[in-house]
Structure 1
Amino acid sequence: MDLYNSALGKNITFIRPAYFIIRGFIGVPHVKFYYVFLFFVYIVSVLGNTAVMAVIYLDHNLRTPKYVAVFNLALVDLLESTALVPKVLDIFLFNNYNVSYNDCMTYLFFCFTFLSLQALNLVALSYDRLVAIMFPLHYQTKITNRGMFSLIGFFWIFAIIAILIAVGLLTRLSFCKSVVINSYFCDHGQIYKLACNDYFPNAVIGRLFPFLILWIPLAVILSSYMCIGYTLAKVATAQERIKAFKTCTAHLSLVAIYFVPILITFTMSANIELNARIINLSLTSVFPPMLNPIIYVLQTQEIKLSLKKILKINNRSKNMFR
């Protein structure tokens, strides 16, 4: 405590609140319909991502670097939805607006870690597509399961350490003004702005992390597709170009679903009313985990074939025991 007091100054007492109040969707008309919608989205996310992971796990033909990354994306989507949505429903559907200090820090850590891993995993998938199209003859030597596991492992370690730093810096703040968080969950930016001591390091982290976890991954993905486009332009026939591009459609759809709403929300945030901004941000968090498995099932031939194969085997097994 003495250490905190010396950091805060002689005339300021360090205050760690017992709880924060999540303002969330207060004042939004007919908001309970939105909670029903969030519950539906969560159920679809859980079922869809579990199905994708099960198909990849059961079909040995899908134990390839590409599907290692797809499996990890489904896992991260499942974890992100589970970390975020049930707590949101508990807070607002059952009027549990008060979230204890420690629970809020934990909530923040898991939500931001999995949100970050979604963007980083899209980089792993773009790297896979880049090598597959630019170096098709050397794909199996350049992209291996071990290499993909290493890349994904690095992303996990990076995201966990980065968010731990953000949470650690929050714990040095004193809250003597307000404990009301103007967001739908324990949002890093909304929390540090409530502090009454110097939060400059938190503000730096708040500006740096979107750059590291959103804009750099997006720049890497766009650069990889510029290289892919340049390579496809040199392909002899239009049919070969279309065939190669089709292998990227699922990933491009995931990139658009994840990044476009975030870009729109951040670009227009100054002109958006508070409740509308909160709803927009919540939708950007819950939609990608729901849509990602649907896109991969509909747009990826290998997963569709595996699903059909697994369903046929199950039907045969049922018929044998009748």
Structure 2
Amino acid sequence: MTMNKANESSVSEFLLLGLSRQPQQQQFLFVLFLSMYLATVLGNLLIILAISTDSRLHTPMYFFLSNLSFVDICFSSTTIPKMLANHILGSQSISFPGCFTQMYFLFTFADMDNFLLAVMAYDRFVAVCHPLHYTTKMTPQLCAMMVIGSWVVANLNILLHTLLIARLSFCANNRIPHFFCDVAALLKLSCSDTYLNEVMILTEGVLIMITPFVCILVSYVCITSAVLRVPSAKGKWKAFSTCGSHLTVVSLFYGTIFAVYFTPASSHAAEDDIAAAVMYTVVTPMLNPFIYSLRNKDLKGALRKVIGRTRFSTQ
């Protein structure tokens, strides 16, 4: 019995095996991920600055977008800096508390992305389907409540899963074939019974992910129905163009999430899981500011002002 306890408590750290074990590829991936991380932080910071400094953008849509940009910065910051630091130090280790902390914040921000995309879909639904009542429905108080509520639910959700995983025992194997502490990978390493964890992931976890997705689908069914009733082609295009950026981001985010967590494990290789995880934790947060700014004249104008002021102040 004593030996079992010793074995169960023997894991004080985990090893993140990363994306590649070949030195040449590691150098390339380091430069690539550093560049992507800097682009993510800079792009999303510019979006936040542009929205906060331009009074014309102080509307619900841009309030939610600035929150999404903040969450995307945090989302990428939970995984990439640790991976880059391990490369510089020639290490693969992450401490036991560090692993659980990373997992907690990573999935909190993933849930926040999920909720904010649903809230933004509702905002577009009200704007397109009830334009005359938009200002009375989307009040600052309601917008703040939706964001605060999203934070509360996201934290409670991942707190539940973190506590359930913390009660498990981890024996000799501490190698995680990933670049961050993933829930699925930790469950595979545990030498305890993980049935309760798996049941909660497939019930409460799926509910948390699917409910906002269903809300987005319902919103866009209503939006499409309303737009098709618009008589002019120009009016239809204008209505759809306000939703195009959001739909692109939704497709990127949910497409990769479903590829990783909602398909049978036997149907895809571990490399496919890692590639999809890179998409939703690194690529999507980096692309979001470009997707929104390239299709939005008001935001492009605000960004030009911010960049112009920055250039002027450095001269």
Same fold (TM over 0.5): yes
> Are 2:294 and 1:302 equivalent residues in the alignment?
no
**Matches of 1:125 and 1:214 in 2, distance apart?**
16
Residue among 255, 259, 272 paired with 2:268: 272
- Misfit runs of 4+, over 6 Å: none
Superimposed CA distance per residue, residues 98-150 of structure 1 (whole angstroms, 9 cap, x where no aligned partner): 21111111111111111111111101110100000000000000011211110
Query: Could you say which residue in structure 1 is the equivalent of 2:161?
Result: 166
CA contact (8 A) 2:114 2:212 kept: yes
Take 1:217 and 1:123, find their aligned partners in 2: how far apart are those partners?
5
Pairing 1:92-103 to 2, within 5 Å after superposition: 92-103=87-98
Quick one: distance in 2 between partners of 1:144 and 1:189?
Answer: 40
Match of residue 42, structure 2, among 43, 47, 56: 47
1:250 is aligned, of 245, 254, 265, to 245
Q: Does 1:292 align with 2:288?
A: yes
Matched with 1:3 is none
Cα shift at 1:260: 2.0
Note the alpha carbon deviations across 1:3-62, whole angstroms, 9 max, x for none: xxxxxx999537332111222324467233122211111000000000000011111221
Residue 68 (structure 1) shift? 1.0
- % identical aligned pairs: 31
Say yes or no: does 1:36 pair with 2:28: no
User: RMSD over aligned Cα, in angstroms?
Assistant: 2.4
- Output aligned runs, 1:172-191, within 5 Å: 172-191=167-186
1:109/1:163 contact within 8 Å kept: yes
Tell me, yes or no, if structure 1 residue 22 matches structure 2 residue 16.
Answer: yes
Partner residue in 1 for 2:219: 224
Structure 2, unpaired ranges of 5+:
none
Q: Residue type matched to 1:257 in 2? A: L
- Structure 1 pair 254/238, CA: closer, same or farther in 2 (3 Å)? same
Unaligned runs of 5+ in 1: 1-8
State TM-score, norm by structure 1: 0.88
- 2:131 corresponds to which residue? 136
One-letter code of the match for 1:263?
F
**How many residues were matched structurally?**
311
* Structure-to-structure mapping, 1:190-201, within 5 angstroms: 190-201=185-196
What is the CA–CA distance in structure 2 between the aligned matches of 1:269 and 1:36, rounded to whole Å?
31
3-state SS of 2:15 partner: strand
One-letter amino acid of the counterpart of residue 169, structure 1: L
Per-residue Cα deviation, 1:210-235 (whole angstroms, up to 9, x for no partner): 51343222221111101111111112
Report the alpha carbon displacement of residue 276 of structure 1 after superposing the two structures with TM: 4.1
**How high is the TM-score relative to the length of structure 2?**
0.90
- Structure 1 residues 123-132 or 199-208, which shifts more? 199-208
Q: Does residue 1:283 correspond to 2:275, yes or no?
A: no
